[in-house]
Structure 1
Amino acid sequence: MTLQIDQQEIEDVKNDLNSAKQRVHLVIFQTNYSIDTKPSMHLITDYQTFINAKNKFNESDLQIVRDILPVTDNLACWAIVQHKLVSKDYEDKFEVIKQLEFFTNKVLLENKLPVNGPDF
């Protein structure tokens, strides 16, 4: 069952993301080595979480490829689905993960980056 995201929810999250840019901003980063034999990929997170991950896994060679992402409908949808996943606010975890992959790839395309493959 696909999660339903209405336009008002998207607009509310876009406003929240724009307001949050003053305190924290989102980035796209690339993993430059394989984790569990999976290929390198692009992921979205906030800047501080990226720094924490880089400090914890410095051998993984994480690199920011887009800083201060523009707030778009796709980024808002990514944030909504990401929140649902981490808050466990879902019925079908597999479906939520598929939607997160979908919106991650939409944001990557908007930022002129290659999408993550099917092994994402």
Structure 2
Amino acid sequence: KTKKELMSILKEVRYVATTADNWSAHHRAFLGCTVHWIDAETLRRKHGTLSCKELKSKQTKELLANEIYKINSEFGITRKIVATTTDNGANYCAAFAHLATTKMIRLLSRHNTRILM
């Protein structure tokens, strides 16, 4: 799918989950982000690539937080995200804490949330 096609699809999706990962290769750093959702008509899992970009500066919590926020905003999914999966590295824990305080993103959905056990 093209970026435009994915953006069009995501406009109609109510909830999404995302992933984020960064890595280095040949002295270059990269950030990859994907999106996942359930098709409301077919109940099939769907996914798309949001971004795979080179990071030109040190991978700080601020850089990761800002890049992830920009990517999610660009695709219009910031308020649709119910979960993000990462490798649980300290940089991601710090980045999401930074996002919560600087971008005023709520960690829990503003909708009624029920926890099932």
Question: What TM-score results when the alignment is normalised by the length of structure 2?
Answer: 0.26
The structure in which a higher percent of residues are strand is 2
The structure in which a higher percent of residues are helix is 1
Higher relative contact order (CA 8 A, sep 6+): 1
Question: What TM-score results when the alignment is normalised by the length of structure 1?
Answer: 0.26
